[in-house]
Chains A and B, each alone.
Chain A
Amino acid sequence: MTRIVVTGLGLITSLGVGSHTNWRAMLEGKDGGSEIPYFDTSQYRVHRAHVVREVPSERFAPPAVLPADFALTAAREALASSGLDLSRLRPERVGLALGTLGGELRTYEAKLREHPEQKEHGYSAGFASVSPVSRISAIVAERLSIEGPVLTSINACSSANHALAASFELLQEGRVDAMIVAGADTVTQTGFTYFHNLRSLASDRVQPFDKNRQGLMIGEGAGVLILEPYDQASRRGAKIYAEVLGYGLSSDGYHVTSPHPEGRGAIEVMQRALASAGLEPEQIDYVNAHGTATPANDYAEALALSAVFCERARALPVSSTKSMIGHCMGASSAIESVVCCLALESQVAPPTINFETPDPNIDLDVIPGRARAIPMKYVLNNSFAFGGNNASVIFGKV
């Protein structure tokens, strides 16, 4: 088996642009929530989300910034930090795997608002240039001069971990020399309304694992990782953030929105990730939880963690960075994978903020309030999407 490592990282979230900016803010336990500027929220119970406030675009001026722009910003940072010179690789051997939940909808929504009486009014040349969703990956691939495989993964909240898993396999097969793994999503009125009407949204702040947690807050942004074989990375003296030791995939087969009540799919996905990485549960030093702060997810996730990690679950550091950046949908598992790499690099685990009252049914060390220095060799990144679409990745320190 080829060892696959992470050599570049890029981030853009409600906490700002760039991995360093984001990491600093996470270590300080900052909350990136704010009022939603994109559409009128007066008719909703909730008015806040985790929006990207510094809006970069190399293609359009705001507010026409799209998932492709988020992905490009983060990808350029990741490529720069990796020092990977794409011109020195055969172009068809560098690929892109991009995960997204909603693709681009804001363009459609903005146009349709002008004449909402017929849905065809939402269609414009602008929207047709970024639809279907694979066109977003095409924009990013073209800008980065990618000529290898380009995959678009639409798996809701697990999209980017799927993209990472697919990239891992392409590298294992030796079909590519490097993969750019990305996740990107924007806050849309459609997505917001969907969760709002499911009564899944918190109005104020995200409180994962807290007894009084109200739900998730929609977030947006992008995370990017550069993956390449270890031999190639070390030959060129690249900085190695982490190794991708393995991953697990599972499917609850239970319900379209609710997780299996005993966390069956979540248990399976973590066990498969451990088996894939050749690790025992007790070797995991930190878990970046899916931790959306919905009553259902956090309970099922805690149950699953308990089943997989047994008595150790109570002492195992588990935090949800969604407390600081919201739930960035298809981008979340990419962003959280980047966070795992940063945690391994600095040997500091990010906190779960807004944690005030422990839930008697959830017995976890959530790293409340403040980041914590922890010796970490192996970390686990969970993503559990609607429909029980589960994907977990294990990173190791090199």
Chain B
Amino acid sequence: MLSGRQDSQHRVVVTGIGVVAPNAIGRAGFWTALKEGRSGISKISGFDTVACPASIGGEIQNFPAEEILGPTGFRYVGRATKFLCASIRLAIEDAGLSEGEPLGEETGVIAGTSFGNLPQTTTYTQKILTKHPAKLLPMDGYDGALNSATNFASVFFKLRACVRTVSCGHSSSTDAIIDAVRMIRTGRARRVVAGGVEQLSPDHLLTYGLNGALATDSDAVPMPYDRKRAGVVLGEGSWMLMLERFDEAQARGAKMYGEVAGFSSLFTGRASATSDRKQQRVAQVIEMALADAGIQPSDVDVIVSAGNSSTEADAVEGRAIAGFFGDRALLTAPKSMTGEIGGTSGAMQAAVALFSLEQGIVPATLHTSEVDEATGIKRLASAPVAMEARAIVADTVDFASNTACLILKRA
């Protein structure tokens, strides 16, 4: 297939989007949920939250696993693996491509995830410590490596160009998409299905809780940038994008949702960094992404931001964005609908950006009623806004990992 490095600035476009979200299944369903402003937040029912610091989240309830994945083959795998396989299947279908060959040989999969299958790992650890090793079942640890979901998916769909899992906190799927663009530009894959997956679990709740990030009220909702925001509400899901070369997409008459025009990613996980320093770094990432795309801040009409209701991060990110775009760009924070979905944030936000480009609508930010002045945010979409955007920024922020940014345009 490949005869050595082919460096190029091939334009890379998105031709398919697979969505498994707390407020919708499937790209079309997600589009509707964005238009309607449908919240995916509810009381968690899938596991017992009595030992957890929160009982509310963007939980995917009544996930139609059998309908999407079929009746067999998924018995031994956990939530994240099912979500990821479902979103990959939906992305392939949405791209107008067929599973099997020749797709498999030419296509890679790169998934970003923050915790990966850690909940399956710790379940296995607990079984080990409570049972005699000889009494464990052979399949007990089956889905229990951090990257098991991506591995399973690559085997299930026979995706053979490459398989990679990236774990950079909230920027995991942003970094995964960036990786995918690189793979295509260097000729290592003809196509890559890239994005992320995150499951909701006691492990997630406990970790965010111990790190002081969670909103703990039983009726908490994510209210990005709101004066009364009290911490994040977690969510789950998987968003996967089918990425391929512009010229090939054009040649096969594929629908193009948009182009990845530029990107950047930097470490912003210094525990010792001050808020000012963090703000400076977020601004730096945005600046680098704009430069990479060859556009000016004034060319950006919409920002699909990382706003997740966290007390510090919303303020820092908000001020960084405001510093660049002032009141010129319109901001929307879709984690208000999904909750903080960790490693799949970038892919979700990119999907929202592509929705905006295609539909000419900026979706509403839910639950936020009074924007905190300290965030510096000037224009937050509180209802859907009709707008034909030229370029859209999707930024993911994590002050224990990376901040990363994608610039999306119409192809």
Contact = CB atoms under 8 A, between A and B. Distances in A.
Interface in B140-159: 140-142, 144-148, 151-152, 154-155, 157-159
Nearest to A255: B155
Given A134-B400, A142-B270, A152 B168 contact: yes
Nearest to A92: B266
B77 to A, nearest CB: 9
B51 A134 contact: no
Contacts of A190: 121, 124-125, 128, 141, 144
A57 B2 CA distance: 44
A43 B132 contact: yes
B372 interface: no
A115 to B, nearest CB: 10
A27 interface: no
A249 B151 contact: no
Contacts of B158: 253-254
B65 interface: no
Nearest to A44: B133
B146 A102 contact: yes
A251 B272 contact: no
B188 interface: yes
A252 B162 CA distance: 9
A102 B145 contact: yes
A1 interface: yes
A149 interface: yes
Given A166-B179, A256-B142, A251 B154 contact: yes
B40 to A, nearest CB: 22
Interface string B202-237: 110011001100000000000000000000000000
Given A96-B267, A108-B125, A253 B157 contact: yes
A352 interface: no
A150 B267 contact: yes
Nearest to B211: A128
A263 to B, nearest CB: 14
Interface in A183-199: 189-190, 193-194, 196-198
B402 A150 contact: yes
B383 interface: no
Contacts of A137: 168, 269, 401
A300 B52 CA distance: 46
A253 B267 contact: no
A120 B154 contact: no
B108 interface: yes
Interface residues of A, number: 78
A143 to B, nearest CB: 10
A169 interface: yes
B166 A122 contact: no
A101 B133 CA distance: 22
B249 interface: no
Interface string A248-287: 0111111110000000010010001001101000000000
Contacts of B146: 101-103, 133, 154
A388 B155 contact: yes
Interface residues of B, number: 80
A142 B269 contact: yes
A148 B154 contact: no
Contacts of B279: none
Contact of A193 (B108, B133, B269, B281): B133
Given A133-B167, A134-B169, A256 B267 contact: no
A149 B284 CA distance: 12
Contact of A253 (B145, B159, B166, B172): B159
Interface string A29-71: 0000000000000011000000000000000000000000000
Contacts of B210: 123-125, 127-128
B155 A252 contact: yes
A386 interface: yes
B143 to A, nearest CB: 9
Contact of A278 (B4, B169, B182, B188): B4
A253 B102 CA distance: 13
B155 A169 contact: no
B130 interface: yes
B265 interface: yes
28 contacts: A102-B121, A105-B121, A108-B125, A112-B125, A118-B126, A119-B123, A129-B211, A132-B118, A132-B169, A133-B116, A133-B118, A133-B146, A135-B401, A138-B400, A141-B267, A149-B266, A150-B168, A153-B165, A162-B164, A190-B141, A251-B108, A251-B154, A253-B154, A254-B158, A256-B142, A385-B151, A387-B147, A387-B154
Given A134-B169, A173-B182, A388-B155, 4 more contacts: A150-B401, A154-B165, A189-B125, A198-B138
Q: Which 6 A-B pairs have the closest CB atoms?
A: A387-B151, A138-B269, A253-B158, A128-B210, A150-B267, A116-B129
Interface of A: 1, 43-44, 92, 95-96, 101-103, 105, 108-109, 112-113, 116-120, 122-125, 127-129, 131-135, 137-138, 141-142, 146-156, 162, 166, 169, 172-173, 189-190, 193-194, 196-198, 246, 249-256, 265, 268, 272, 275-276, 278, 385-389
Interface of B: 2-5, 7, 51-52, 104, 108-109, 113-116, 118, 121-126, 128-130, 132-134, 136, 138, 140-142, 144-148, 151-152, 154-155, 157-169, 172, 175, 179, 182, 186, 188, 202-203, 206-207, 210-211, 265-267, 269-272, 281, 284, 342, 398, 400-402
